[in-house]
């Protein structure tokens, strides 16, 4: 679904994405988008930052609170504030305007691709249980709802516990970005993931920071 206030751009994106094979719905305001979200349950939301009424960040925050629907933000280049605020609101990725449909397509695919584990095994680390075929995560027996990006990040680093992944590597493997990716995507996603699976997000056990290099899983 596309939430974009400018009708021509909304229609343009709709046309381009439809042509690429997506079933596209569109909304002109954040309120309308949130309403439509409940009815149509889209796989992914492309969200403009600047909207009349409630802005893109607030919409993103509400989507995140409601479930695990991935969000890609449309931001203005160089507007770092938009990027940071969007990521903190829980966006999975962002695309700088003017966005080529091909670029947007690649990001959408990357976000939606859940990359099931090669062997479909079940990994258990302490109280954390990751089912790589069913793509579910349980903590102390309870299911933890993860967005596709969070899931993919967790799957990526838990495949080799103890190994250090640089932000750049994670960008390329999880977000499928080229070398110009924004490492803040990684940091924000890690924080959201920690909030969900760590007992104490300030002293993480599973996703640990290796200062100056990146992140590693465990050791538990």
Partner 1 sequence: MTARLAWPRGLRARSVWPRGSRGRRAWPRGLRARLLVAFVLVTVFGAAAAAWSSARSASTALAAGAERQFVETVTNQITANAAGLTYPPGQSTLDQLASAVGADTTVTYQNLRSTTGPDSDLITDAIRAAVQHGDSLFVQRIAAQGRPWLIVGTPVVITSTTGTRTPSGIQVYAVRDLTSVQRQIHSLTRSEAITTGLALPLAVLLALVAAGSVLRPVRRLRDTARRLSAGDLDARAVPRGADELADLTVTLNEMAESVQTSMAAMRRMQDDARRFAADASHELRTPLSTLTAVMEVLAAASQEMDGDARESAQLAIAETHRLVQLAEDLMEVSRFDAGTARLRTEDVEVGGAVRDCLRTRAWTDQVELSAPGEIWSRCDRRRLDVIVANLVGNALRHGAPPVRVSVSGAPEQVWIEVTDSGPGLPEQVLPHVFDRFYKADEARSRAPGSGLGLAIALENTLLHGGELTAGNASGGGARFVVRLPRGREDT
Query: Between β-strands 2-3 and 26-27, what pairing exists: parallel, antiparallel or unpaired?
Result: parallel
Q: Judged by CB, which is closer to partner 1: 80, or 124? A: 80
Cβ-proximal residues to 219 (8 Å cutoff; 6+ apart), any chain: 161, 162
Residues at the interface with partner 1 (CB under 8 A) = 6, 8-9, 11-13, 15-16, 19, 50, 74, 76-78, 80, 97-102, 178-180, 183, 212
Q: Least distance from C-beta 17 to partner 1, angstroms?
A: 9
Q: Least distance from C-beta 215 to partner 1, angstroms?
A: 15
Give, in degrees to the nearest 5, the angle at Cα 107 between 105 and 109.
Answer: 70
Q: Judged by CB, which is closer to partner 1: 100, or 114? A: 100
Q: Least distance from C-beta 49 to partner 1, angstroms?
A: 10
Burial class (CB in 10 A: 0-12, 13-18, 19+), 174: buried
As a whole number of angstroms, the distance between CA 93 and CA 108 comes to 9
Q: Least distance from C-beta 9 to partner 1, angstroms?
A: 4
Q: Judged by CB, which is closer to partner 1: 24, or 112? A: 24
Q: Judged by CB, which is closer to partner 1: 9, or 115? A: 9
Q: Tell me which H or E stretch contains 59.
A: helix 56-66
Closest CA to 16 of 105, 98, 76, 94: 105
Residue 40 near residue 25 (C-beta atoms within 8 A): yes
Q: Least distance from C-beta 216 to partner 1, angstroms?
A: 18
Q: Judged by CB, which is closer to partner 1: 38, or 102? A: 102
């Amino acid at each position: 679904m596309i939430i974009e206030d400018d009708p021509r751009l909304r229609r343009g994106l709709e046309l381009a994405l439809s042509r690429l094979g997506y079933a596209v719905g569109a909304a002109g305001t954040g309120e309308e988008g949130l309403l439509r979200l409940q009815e149509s349950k889209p796989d992914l939301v492309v969200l403009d930052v600047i909207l009349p009424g409630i802005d893109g960040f607030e919409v993103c925050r509400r989507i995140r609170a409601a479930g695990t629907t991935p969000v890609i933000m449309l931001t203005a280049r160089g507007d770092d504030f938009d990027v940071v605020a969007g990521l903190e609101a829980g966006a999975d990725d962002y695309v700088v305007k003017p966005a080529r449909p091909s670029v947007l397509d690649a990001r959408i695919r990357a976000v939606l691709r859940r990359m099931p584990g090669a062997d479909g095994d079940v990994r258990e680390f302490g109280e954390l249980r990751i089912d790589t075929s069913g793509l579910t995560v349980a903590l102390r027996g309870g299911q933890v709802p993860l967005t596709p990006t969070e899931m993919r990040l967790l799957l990526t680093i838990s495949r080799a516990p103890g190994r250090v992944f640089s932000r750049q590597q994670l960008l390329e493997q999880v977000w499928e970005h080229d070398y110009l990716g924004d490492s803040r995507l990684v940091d924000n996603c890690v924080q959201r993931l920690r909030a969900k699976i760590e007992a104490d997000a300030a002293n993480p056990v599973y996703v640990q920071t290796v200062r100056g290099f990146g992140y590693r899983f465990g050791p538990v």
